[in-house]
Structure 1
Amino acid sequence: MKIGLIGKKLGMTQVYTDKGEALPVTVIQVAGNQVVQVKTVEKDGYSAVQLGFGDKKEKSVNKPEGGHFKKAGASPKYVLKEYRVDGEAPAAGTVFGPEVFEVGDVVDVIGTTKGKGFQGVVKRYGFAGQPMSHGSMMHRRTGSIGCRLTPGRVWKNQKMPGHTGTTNRTTQNLQIVQSRTEEGVILVRGCVPGHNNSYVFVRPAIKKAAAKN
């Protein structure tokens, strides 16, 4: 049975294959995932487990949260995430790590993209911009956003300047290059959303692709 894991993005590096090929990889710390709650079909209508990640001081949780963790025999955690399971679910308090995934497995990684603040349309959407010479004063401006005739208004979802980043993104079909149990990390080929030390969610790929050589 394979379930998802909660992890922390540590950064990117590269590893070499037996053929001498350099592969860009993202290092994700996943050691210490603990089952905080088990949901069953009889009681909850579906089968799932709630995982916790990142140890938290007991004084930093309120009484309802403390009771939730104590009931499962787990230490307080910073991040909680629920994953569906097929078949028998692991017992509360069970701890998972890199051993959940094997080399060659294909996963999806969900994270929050880096925040860029308020940006114009050139940086936000890749607009080409307007003339850079002949007296033009509209170099990086949006340009026309509508017409006073038909339809006589600005369409919804018109691309305009605004806040950029800090949105949930899923990178699909990434291959597990290494699973280092002793170090508590997995190495995923390619990049994943988020800045270093941000929390990410790793799950078995939904649209599973063939493993890369």
Structure 2
Amino acid sequence: MGPVAFFLPIFVVGSCWGSLNGVTFAFSRIFFAAARNGHFPEIFGMINVENSCPMPSVFLLCLTALITLSLNDITLLLNWFAFTQSLVTSTVIAGFLKMRIWEMLKWTPPKTPPIRFNISLPIIFFIICLYIDIVPIYNDWKEILPAIGIISAGVPAYFLFIYWKNKPSWLMWPWVKFTHGVQVVLLCVSDESKGQ
């Protein structure tokens, strides 16, 4: 590489740092918006009073990053993340295709999206995502099983902690105390603009 060999690792570190910064910024706001709209625990819909940052969401991201860093096998970690990301993407594209097909069959009133393009593009993208989902299961389903288990654990957790509204007070008391403790430590309050 010649004279660039010294600078290349510095550029790689800068690129990784920028990517990490962007992911932390984006996903903490996604958690914040989901909690504000009632799709995630209320604690993650709180912001710091000094800098308007969703601190509980940032700490959740840091905790999950530390847990994933404790895994020694980078290939396994990459397979898990590729599988879960592709599964989420294929689910979103499937919902989009359902909406477009129902609109084409006149089952729902037509909506005018800001950008209209040929339906073959999302179909091709959906097939690619399905391929990325199915091949790891076919090759080594035992390797992907923990990722499927973690994703599947979200369903009962959602019904237990989010969907079920009239929980008994003895079940809610520890969570309320934990939320108040986090509010005191991180100087967080609930956002006033709920659901906007």
**How high is the TM-score relative to the length of structure 1?**
0.25
Larger Rg: 1
